[in-house]
Structure 1
Amino acid sequence: MIKKWNLIKENKVFSSKPFNVYKKIYEKPEKRGKFSAFVIQTPDWANIIVRNKKKEILLIRQFRFGSDKVELEIPGGCIDSDEAPIDGARRELKEETGYISNKFQQIGVVDANPAIQSNKCYTFLAENITNTGIRNLDPDEDLECQFYPMEDVQNFIRDGKITNTYIIAAFHWLSLYEQK
């Protein structure tokens, strides 16, 4: 039976916004030796599937530094350390899109990459939306918003126009939610 490894020591080896890197030294179960692992600690993340009265999905286009290209995604962002996931999701939705919702619920959560990351990504569904017309973008954000039929969103995933794993997982959660 696989057992949890014993954490002996951890040290922060790199710090930046929005992540830190820790070196963790573990002892294998039953005293079978030690192993050093590097773990990226980042804030938890929230993604929001926004659906209008026509059941269209709000997608955003924005430049992403990691892929070095413009990506097609859903609204989302880091949850502040003092926020509940739902509060961070509501804040991110309003900041990025100007939309608010009076029907807002969590439909799923995933571990980002448990091999090397410690954070989670929460997925929320926002319906009964209202556009306040006021956005508050971060300095590194420049984005456009547009509603698409769900069939288009599925085709974007199938055709490789949406490749972000968090976004694909969000639509999987939506599919499971709608099967209830």
Structure 2
Amino acid sequence: MDDGWKVLETRTILQDRWLNLRADDCLTPDGVTISPYYVMSYPDWVNIVAITPDDRLLLVRQYRHAAGRFFLEIPGGGLDERDV
């Protein structure tokens, strides 16, 4: 038995090379309609855990615009089709 939500309708709100945002109208198994239910999807990416010979973790300082500040993170980036 499938207990998942049934998608009644889906609309693309925004689609570009960095993300896809869509709005789904859904029906739960209990008969409740949830509209809209927003879904974001992104291209594939990779993160790297790099450890130096002296057992230190490599981090990069990355600006995150939504937070308006810099963070220390593990290195990562988007995959191109030729990378897969």
TM-score class, shorter: 0.7 to 0.9
Aligned-pair identity in percent equals 27
State the TM-score, normalizing by the size of structure 2.
0.77
Aligned to 1:25: 25
TM-fit CA distance, 1:20: 1.7
CA contact (8 A) 1:14 1:21 kept: yes
CA contact (8 A) 1:43 1:81 kept: no
Identify, as 1 or 2, the structure richer in helix.
1
Distance of aligned partners of 1:74 and 1:81 in 2 relative to their CA distance in 1, 3 Å threshold: same
Aligned to 2:34: 35
Q: Distance in 2 between matches of 1:81 and 1:11?
A: 26
TM-fit CA distance, 1:83: 4.2
Aligned residues: 82
Write the deviation string for residues 42-97 of structure 1: whole angstroms up to 9, x where unpaired. 1233211101221211111122212211211110022335644xxxxxxxxxxxxx
Aligned to 1:73: 73
Identify, as 1 or 2, the structure richer in strand.
2
| RMSD of aligned residue pairs (Cα, Å) | 2.2
Q: Distance in 1 between matches of 2:21 and 2:79?
A: 19
SS in structure 2 of the partner of residue 29 of structure 1 = coil
State the TM-score, normalizing by the size of structure 1.
0.40
Q: How does 1:133-144 map to 2 (within 5 A)?
A: none
